[in-house]
């Protein structure tokens, strides 16, 4: 059988929660609204598969461009170009600048 090349391969440590973090999420994370221009941190929640960005963006700081349905369009400056991706609010948190 050939080796898998899916988006979640080699992600055992990145996409696992600590024992005490398991369970339901607080509603405040889902109900937080982000405005255009807000900076957010991509922090993937492995318990929610829907709207999950690729694991390579874990921990990156992005800028909110727009809202599309329940999800947000994010822009990430990468070394040679600007990447655009879609993520649901379960996977992003406000970036505290300072």
Q: Which pLDDT does position 72 carry in this prediction?
A: 97
Q: Which pLDDT does position 6 carry in this prediction?
A: 86
Q: Set out the domains of the chain in order of their start, with CATH numbers.
A: 25-94 (2.30.30.70)
Residue 89 — very low, low, confident or very high, per pLDDT cuts 50/70/90? Answer: very high
Q: Which pLDDT does position 98 carry in this prediction?
A: 55
Show the CA angle centred on residue 66, arms to residues 94 and 63, nearest 5°. 40
Residue 76: strand pairing partners? 83
Q: Which pLDDT does position 73 carry in this prediction?
A: 97
Euclidean distance between CA atoms 90 and 40, whole angstroms: 12
Q: Which pLDDT does position 91 carry in this prediction?
A: 95
Q: Six-digit token pair at 97?
A: 């600048």
The predicted model gives 2-17 an average pLDDT of: 87
Residue 22 CB partners (closer than 8 Å, separation 6+): 47
* Cα distance between the two ends of the chain: 50
> pLDDT tens, 35-82?
999 999 999 999 998 989 999 999 999 999 999 999 999 999 988 999
Show the CA angle centred on residue 78, arms to residues 72 and 83, nearest 5°. 35
């Amino acid at each position: 059988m050939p080796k898998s090349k899916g988006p979640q391969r080699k992600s055992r440590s990145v996409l696992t929660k600590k024992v005490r973090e398991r369970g339901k999420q607080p509603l405040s994370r889902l109900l937080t609204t982000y405005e255009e221009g807000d900076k957010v941190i991509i922090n993937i929640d492995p318990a929610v598969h829907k709207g999950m960005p690729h694991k390579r963006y874990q921990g990156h700081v992005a800028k909110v461009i727009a809202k599309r349905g329940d999800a947000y369009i994010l822009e990430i400056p990468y070394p040679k170009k600007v990447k655009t991706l879609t993520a649901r609010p379960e996977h992003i948190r406000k970036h505290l600048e300072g």
